[in-house]
Homo-oligomer: A and B are copies of this chain.
């Protein structure tokens, strides 16, 4: 019997679907292998541990989120609406990753910062938010854009970590930061 050939991307896609559909706990090496119809050992050829697999999943997933955020930031149209669209993209995608970020943050403490790319992600998102904020802020206040971008991300992270609502009222409150 020939062994089924898989690519690492397929493994990550399957792992991502498992997290979204059944949660992080279901995303075991055994669970991924069974969904892919391969032996568990095959996964270990590509990812030496579940931690490393989840780390790559986290990076790949955030790369897609950052891409969406950038596209939204570069669109034309009302800056305030774009800020809220970016907020919604971030909240939805973070929600879809259901605890993956927290888990990976845990590895980082255990394993040292082996390229979790947290800082790069944060920088990319705040740069996109700052670009839009610069369009909205009055000319003399454009220099506040980076600070307000960081604060916007801090508020969204707090929302997702604390499992808090973020509805029309919260959107209105957030936009108060922009005069």
Contact = CB atoms under 8 A, between A and B. Distances in A.
What number of copies of this chain does the assembly contain?
A: 2
Contacts of A106: 109
B158 A150 contact: yes
Interface string A65-98: 0000000000000000000000000000000000
Nearest to A119: B162
A104 to B, nearest CB: 11
Contact of A157 (B154, B169, B173): B154
Interface of A: 105-106, 109-110, 144, 147-148, 150-151, 153-155, 157-158, 162, 164, 169-170, 173, 176-177, 179
A111 to B, nearest CB: 11
A175 to B, nearest CB: 10
Contacts of A155: 151, 154-155
A158 B179 CA distance: 22
A154 to B, nearest CB: 4
Contacts of A150: 158, 162, 164
A173 B154 CA distance: 15
Top 5 closest A-B pairs, CB basis? A154-B158, A106-B109, A109-B109, A154-B154, A151-B155
A145 to B, nearest CB: 11
Contacts of A176: 176-177, 179
Nearest to A166: B147
A133 to B, nearest CB: 11
A110 to B, nearest CB: 7
Given A109-B106, A109-B109, A110-B110, A169 B144 contact: yes
A158 B157 CA distance: 10
